[in-house]
Every structure is written in structure tokens, then in C-alpha cells.
A and B are shown apart, each in its own frame.
Chain A
Amino acid sequence: MLSEDLHLSDKHLSDQEMLLAADGELSTRRAAQVHSHLAECWACRARMAEIEETIADFARAHRQTLDPQLSPIAGPRALLRAQLAELVSEHKSNSWRRLLHFTSTTRAAAFLCAVVLIATVVGRILVHHSTQPAANSIVDAFERGALPDRRLTPGATRRVAISDVCSMAHEEVDEEVSTSLRQEVFREYGIVNAHPDDYEVDYLIAPGLGGAEDVRNLWPEPYTSRPWNAHVKDDLEERLHEMVCGGQLDLSTAQRDISTDWIAAYKKYFHTDRPLALHSRLESIKLASALM
């Protein structure tokens, strides 16, 4: 564009233009123009140097402040390794059905080759055990604790803009609920002497979907409920958040579906009748694996 050319040759570069050029974010043509301007203009070169120096100074200050707090990496690495190994062994020892589904991949194919004899011998037993009626009765038996009492927990939202919801993306962890509110929830559900390990006081509509920290939006979800538990619900929340922020679903529909029957919503949005095989946490894999 002619006006652009004039702009660049007549005027000094803006800070923003220089920063974008340094990051390779300008078009080739424009970057070349910036480059040639810098070659000729001492003032812009000096400004550019100043900006780069400031970034470097800040990066140094940032590190010098925080680095003394970093522990050596060896301990955390060992911990991660152990957690991964546990995750893998839990996964492997309980994932026959999944592996049978993955026959198209080379990795699973190699694995199947190694155990193909065993698989052919007992494959039928597995198929027999995982037929739909059996799975359904299990699901029915365990679904109860995973769904809230709608009279006590209809769900409550706070007024949020999509941009607020999407600027703090939903991840696996839920926000902590205050102790007094937790107690109120337990009281409401008539649970006395609740042990903290037995229940998670969970949001029906997740904060990441505009759910309110309100007693009407909280219920005690047993950790033992299977296969539908808090971790599976986290996956649904993440999925709905992605869909809402990706413009595929509006926020009010997401809020309505998750508060009406989150298990039905999971089935609807994941196109499945049961929780998908892998969940975010070790715990959920342990729980889910009992059904595999």
C-alpha cells in the first residue's frame, strides 16, 4: 500500500511496530520496510535497543527474584516419574477394553501382537462381561451419589460476561469452597460428622462456567461414586468451557445442561454412554478402572 510506504519513510517507527518486527509478526514486506528504516534511522535504532535492553533487564530481575526459591529439579522429577509410572501401570493393568479399541495404532498393535494368544482365548469372556445391560445396571447403582438433590441444589449462577469466563480458562481443579459454606451444605443434606475424605463439596455449575459460590449451587459429592464422579465432571466442565469459548455453545445452554443432569450432559457432549477412559487424575483412573 502506498500510504503505508509513505508512513514508514516519513515517520519514525512506533514502539509496537518495532516489537512486532522483532518477534517476526509483521508481513515480509512490512518487516523489510521496518528493517530498512532502522538501518537509516539512528533514533529508531536507539529506541529499539532501549526496548530490548528493558526486556532483558526485566527478565533478569524476574529471574533473580524467583530463582533463589527454586529447589533442585531432581526431587520433583523423581516424583513426577513415580506418578507417571503409577498412572501407566494403573492404566495398563485395567485397560483391556481400551487397548482393543486402539488396534489401528501401531503402538497398540505391537502390544497386541505380544499378547495376541491370551487375547483370543479370553477376549470372549471380556466381551461377555462388558455387554450393555450389565454396564447399565452398574451405572444405575452408582449414579445416585453423583447427582445432587435438585430441590436442594438447583444450581446458581453469577452475572458474568463470556469474556470473563474465557479469560480464566477452566482446568481440572475446582475452586476451594469456604469452610462455613461447606458446613452449610452438609447440614442441608443432613450429613453429620462428614469426613473430608468422603465427600467433595462440588459446584453443580462450575465457577468457570459462571457458577456461583452459593449453597444452591453446591452439593456433597461422594468420592466413592462410580463411574460418575467429580473427576469425570471436571472433564465435562472443561469440554463445555472449550465449547462456550470456542463459540460452539452458548453459556446459558451449558449452564442449563450441566445443572439439569450433568451425567446426561456428559453423554450428550462426549457422545458416549460412559465416562471416557482417561481422566485428569490418578484417583479417577483408580476409580474408573474397577469397571473396566
Chain B
Amino acid sequence: MPPTDSINELPFPNVAEAAHSAKPSEIEREVIELFDQFRDPLLRYALSFGISVHDAEEVIQEVFLSLFRHLQLRRSRKNLRGWLFRVAHNLALKQLYANQRSYKTTSDRAIAEEHFDPTPNPEEQLSSAQRRHRLLAVVQALPEADQGCLRLRAEGLRYREIAAVLGMSLGAVSISLTRSLGRLIRADGR
């Protein structure tokens, strides 16, 4: 019999459980609050790697479980938004490598399906859909790091945060975004 069993038989753990009620801890509450705030942006970001919705949802769960651990270990609370995106980035990338061959990229599929905004009239709809299609096609032709910068920017991250998420220098992020935006502007025929 493994020696662990005798330790488990101690009256201790049960007493401890009873003494400490199941009320959510402050850290749990904080994690849930951050989940409410950042789940959608993080999920969009994970999806933009081209992984399935199911995989992306799992990645996000994993991100917040890691956050819980991070806070519980009293690690740095500086810029938690950047931290969340960084972890999501790494996990989504791993997921992508794991099933790289099984999926066509999400944006490809999304473009093929085309979700229209119901408000504009049909002509406007068509032109705005075409424009979106064109913008996204330009983005997809960009190097991966440039796409990452743009997507993080689209989720409202500042240059400094983007640099930390992607492990790039601030200068590199700024050059990348300047270049990408230049291309988007040109592609838009402005």
C-alpha cells in the first residue's frame, strides 16, 4: 500500500474543509470579473489564429485557470490585460500547431459564410461586405507577426502591451503597425 494512504487518513483535511466554507474567495471573484471583461476580446483573438470555436473556448478557460494560479501565487499584477493576451496567444498557438492540418483558417470560413449587418440597405451591404472582405484579405496576406499586431490593436491593446504579448520591441511593433496600416490604406484605394 502506498504510504500516501496513511497520510490521507489523517482527520485533518476534512476538518479543514469544514472550517473553511465554500464561499468564493476574493481571487475567484476577481478572476470571474476579469473573465466577464476580457472573455470576448480574448476569444476573438484566439479565434483569429484559425482554431475552432470549441478549441478557442478551451484555450480561454485554460487562460483564466492560469490567471487564478498566477494571482494565487501573488505574481505580478502589473498589466493583467497584457498578461491575459500573452497567455492566450501562447496557448492558441500551441493549439494551432496541434491541429494545424485539420482546420481551414477561421477567417477564411467566416469570409466564405459572410455575416451581414442587417441595418444598411442591400447596396450598402454589398459594398461594406466587399470592403471588409478586401481589408481582411490584405491582412491575411501580411506576415504573421504583423497580423498579430493588428489584431491586438483591434482589441484595444496599446503598443507597449502588444510588444509584451508578441515578445517584440516597442519599435518593431510600431514599424509593423505603420507598415500594415499603410498597406490597408493603399488597398482601400484612398
In the bound complex, do residue B7 and residue A96 qualify as a contact, i.e. CB atoms below 8 Å apart? no
Complex: A248 Cα to B19 Cα, angstroms: 43
A69 sits at the interface (CB 8 A): yes
User: Assuming the A-B contacts A61-B135, A115-B15, A172-B66, are A76 and B7 also in contact, with contact meaning beta carbons closer than 8 angstroms in the complex?
Assistant: no
In the bound complex, do residue A89 and residue B17 qualify as a contact, i.e. CB atoms below 8 Å apart? yes
Complex: A50 Cα to B22 Cα, angstroms: 54
In the bound complex, do residue A129 and residue B19 qualify as a contact, i.e. CB atoms below 8 Å apart? no
> Which residue in B48, B64, B91, B181 is a CB contact (below 8 Å) of A173?
B91
Shortest distance from the beta carbon of A73 to any chain B beta carbon, whole Å: 6
Complex: A166 Cα to B48 Cα, angstroms: 21
Which of A17-25, A187-195, A214-222, A264-272 is found at the contact surface with chain B? A17-25
In the bound complex, do residue A79 and residue B136 qualify as a contact, i.e. CB atoms below 8 Å apart? no
A114 sits at the interface (CB 8 A): yes
User: Assuming the A-B contacts A61-B132, A62-B151, A76-B61, are A70 and B31 also in contact, with contact meaning beta carbons closer than 8 angstroms in the complex?
Assistant: no
Shortest distance from the beta carbon of A61 to any chain B beta carbon, whole Å: 4
B185 sits at the interface (CB 8 A): yes
In the bound complex, do residue A171 and residue B94 qualify as a contact, i.e. CB atoms below 8 Å apart? yes
Complex: A130 Cα to B132 Cα, angstroms: 63
In the bound complex, do residue A68 and residue B28 qualify as a contact, i.e. CB atoms below 8 Å apart? no
Using a Cβ–Cβ cut-off of 8 Å, how many residues does chain A contribute to the interface with B?
78
Q: Which residues on the B side are within 8 Å of A64 (C-beta)?
A: 115, 117, 132
Interface readout for A77-119 with B: 1 if CB under 8 Å, 0 if not? 1011101110111001111100000000001000100110010
B154 sits at the interface (CB 8 A): yes
Complex: A107 Cα to B28 Cα, angstroms: 14
> Which residue in B43, B95, B115, B153 is a CB contact (below 8 Å) of A68?
B115
> Which residue in A55, A65, A107 is a CB contact (below 8 Å) of B110?
A65
Chain A positions 222-251 with a Cβ under 8 Å from a chain B Cβ:
226, 245
A160 sits at the interface (CB 8 A): no
In the bound complex, do residue A171 and residue B32 qualify as a contact, i.e. CB atoms below 8 Å apart? no
User: Assuming the A-B contacts A25-B170, A73-B40, are A129 and B47 also in contact, with contact meaning beta carbons closer than 8 angstroms in the complex?
Assistant: no
User: Assuming the A-B contacts A81-B32, A173-B91, are A65 and B111 also in contact, with contact meaning beta carbons closer than 8 angstroms in the complex?
Assistant: yes
In the bound complex, do residue B72 and residue A278 qualify as a contact, i.e. CB atoms below 8 Å apart? yes
In the bound complex, do residue B188 and residue A54 qualify as a contact, i.e. CB atoms below 8 Å apart? yes
A122 sits at the interface (CB 8 A): yes
Q: Which residues on the B side are within 8 Å of A23 (C-beta)?
A: 158-160
In the bound complex, do residue A84 and residue B66 qualify as a contact, i.e. CB atoms below 8 Å apart? no
> Which residue in B12, B20, B190 is a CB contact (below 8 Å) of A122?
B12
Complex: A275 Cα to B17 Cα, angstroms: 23
Interface readout for B24-50 with A: 1 if CB under 8 Å, 0 if not? 111010011001100110011001100
* In the complex, residue of chain B having the shortest beta-carbon distance to the beta carbon of A123: B12
Tell me which of B11, B53, B135, B190 has the highest count of chain A C-beta atoms within 10 A of its own C-beta: B135
Shortest distance from the beta carbon of A227 to any chain B beta carbon, whole Å: 9
* In the complex, residue of chain A having the shortest beta-carbon distance to the beta carbon of B47: A66
In the bound complex, do residue A65 and residue B136 qualify as a contact, i.e. CB atoms below 8 Å apart? yes
In the bound complex, do residue B39 and residue A62 qualify as a contact, i.e. CB atoms below 8 Å apart? no
Which of A35-43, A133-141, A145-153 is found at the contact surface with chain B? A133-141
Complex: A38 Cα to B31 Cα, angstroms: 42
Shortest distance from the beta carbon of A140 to any chain B beta carbon, whole Å: 11
In the bound complex, do residue B93 and residue A134 qualify as a contact, i.e. CB atoms below 8 Å apart? no
Q: Which residues on the B side are within 8 Å of A71 (C-beta)?
A: 53, 57
A197 sits at the interface (CB 8 A): no
Interface readout for B165-190 with A: 1 if CB under 8 Å, 0 if not? 01110100011011001101100101
A161 sits at the interface (CB 8 A): no
Q: Which residues on the A side are within 8 Å of B111 (C-beta)?
A: 65
Q: Which residues on the B side are within 8 Å of A76 (C-beta)?
A: 35, 39, 57, 60-61
6 CB contacts below 8 A, A to B, read A25-B159, A58-B150, A79-B61, A129-B7, A138-B3, A171-B87
The 4 closest A-B pairs by CB, nearest first: A176-B98, A59-B154, A171-B90, A61-B132
